[in-house]
Amino acid sequence: MTVSLRSTAALRLGLTGALVGALALLASSCGRARHGPFPVALVGDEGAFQTSGVRLSPAAQVLRAATVEGLVGFDAEGRVVPAIAERWIVTDDGQSYIFRLRDGIWPDGSPITADTTAAALRKAIAALRGTALGLDLAPIDEVRVMAARVIEVDLVAPMPDLLTLLAQPELGLPYEKRGSGPMGLRRDGRTAVLALIPPTRRGLPPQEDFAARSRPLHLEVEDAARAVERFNDGYVDAVLGGRIDTLPLAGVGGLTRGNVQIDPVIGMFGLMVDRADGFLADAPNREALALAIDRATLLGEFNVGGWQPTTRIVSPDVEGDLGTVGERWVAMDMAARRAAALERVTRWKAAGNPAPVLRVAMPDGPGSQIVLARLTTDFAAIGIGLVRVGEGGKADLRLVDTAARYGRATWFLNQLTCAIQKAACNPTGDARLDEARKAVDPRQRAALLGEAEAEMTAANGFIPIARPLRWSLVRSGVTGFALNPWGWHPLPPFAAVPK
């Protein structure tokens, strides 16, 4: 078992105190691994408990997924598993998914039926219209009741990732505003106790030794610094929900690095243009910012092995990518790129405009400070000033750090449509993307997606830097945790008592 000596208390007490604390931590955490509640910290704030609606914080997504299940869910490794639907089949043409619902009850004791489930699913899909996730679900044509416990989801074109989308927290299906589990939550301020709901209370057959085989979770919602401190001082055995803005707190390069887990996620980490006016009104000027960023140096500040820069708006090597769109400016070194960018800024100022000073919205935290310092240096090299504002502030640029919900180009492009990215988008790219959604032939769909990516890239409404980073702290011997491609970790697996 890895023992961390990087706690604030240990550093105050000196070596002897640290060793005593480490031994106490070893004893307590080994005991917790098999007996008693499992203590976990979730990085977030008061908004973590606001689990209704469709624009959830990352912490709220975790809590909603634990307490409001949908047709399917995720296991610890990010694989789709049964939930309200106990099994399903996909038709040969890939355009219909047929779900057999479990023989259970809703929280008010009424039976789970195809009628009530279909109504809840239609309502959830309708609520997501106007969001990027709503665009992901756009190929759904109809949700139909087939039998007392059978529903069918019909599509206008094959949708290989439908199950992954239906497992998203926003597709949880509350009944009379209450979730059906699999966990119940009792809140006490910024902490909560979550426990698996006994099968008999969900209308399911009893499970032998259920009480002995499950344990409650004591969950603390904390800011990242406090969560790491709680971990290092031995009060929690896992910290979930870390992002790039707080990565330095995890001690990736220090004594805690044996406890740091970094998920292999794909997604978007870069700058979104929020106001396409002034210097940013023209796509070539927006491209100047993308040209100026020394991505390799920025990433090197974090010293994370395998983290690679990218200039593509779609993560390289996503499923179905034909490779028709590659990395940008591969024939130009950094000096040549900055020279091209500087020429555009010089031309702007020669037209009587002041030197651009841009406001960038980003979260607070040591990781954000590193990113801001590097971007400030990079933009200063081409004569552009950069000023940070808070996440909710009025800004020209916004730092985006979002993990993909599924591993296809469609997810990335949906984030950049004119319905979502209103400041700097490309209607032609939207049109190609819409055609791709309706395409039945996989090769035709992939070609249209490549065209859409090329058009949206030319708009320079998003300036990619790299894939996102998602980190957790997990003590050795903890069960219920696994690295997964979505970067967030469901709570129910932690409630299973280790054998």
pLDDT of 16 over the 90 cut: no
Q: Distance between CA 475 and CA 238 in Å, rounded?
A: 6
DSSP state of 200: G
Q: Distance between CA 122 and CA 114 in Å, rounded?
A: 12
pLDDT of 499 over the 80 cut: no
Question: What's the confidence (pLDDT) of residue 26?
Answer: 44
| pTM for this model (two decimals) | 0.90
39 alpha carbon, distance to own chain's centre: 23
Q: Tell me what the mean pLDDT of segment 251-261 comes to.
A: 66
pLDDT of 374 over the 90 cut: yes
Percent of the chain with pLDDT over 90: 81
Domains of the chain (ranges, CATH numbers): 8-48+181-264+470-495 (3.40.190.10), 69-171 (3.90.76.10), 267-466 (3.10.105.10)
Which of 256-265, 322-331, 341-350 ranks highest by mean pLDDT?
Answer: 341-350
Q: Distance between CA 74 and CA 163 in Å, rounded?
A: 10
Does 13 or 489 have the greater pLDDT score?
Answer: 489
Question: What's the confidence (pLDDT) of residue 20?
Answer: 33
Q: Lowest mean pLDDT: which of 283-287, 454-458, 489-493, 494-498?
A: 494-498
pLDDT band at 252 (very low <50, low <70, confident <90, very high): low
pLDDT band at 403 (very low <50, low <70, confident <90, very high): very high
- Cβ atoms of residues 53 and 36 within 8 Å: no
Average pLDDT, the chain: 90
Question: What's the confidence (pLDDT) of residue 419?
Answer: 94
Question: What's the confidence (pLDDT) of residue 485?
Answer: 93
Question: What's the confidence (pLDDT) of residue 436?
Answer: 95
Q: Tell me what the mean pLDDT of segment 316-324 comes to.
A: 84
Question: What's the confidence (pLDDT) of residue 90?
Answer: 97
Backbone angles phi, psi at 31, to 5 degrees: -65, -40
Q: If residue 97 lies in a helix (H) or strand (E), which one and from where to where? A: strand 96-101
pLDDT of 151 over the 80 cut: yes
Which amino acid is it at 480?
Answer: G
Q: At 411, list the tokens.
A: 């997810």
Backbone angles phi, psi at 38, to 5 degrees: -95, 120
Burial class (CB in 10 A: 0-12, 13-18, 19+), 305: exposed
pLDDT band at 423 (very low <50, low <70, confident <90, very high): very high
pLDDT band at 24 (very low <50, low <70, confident <90, very high): very low
* DSSP-derived pairing of the beta strands 357-361 and 385-389: parallel
Q: Tell me what the mean pLDDT of segment 455-477 comes to.
A: 96
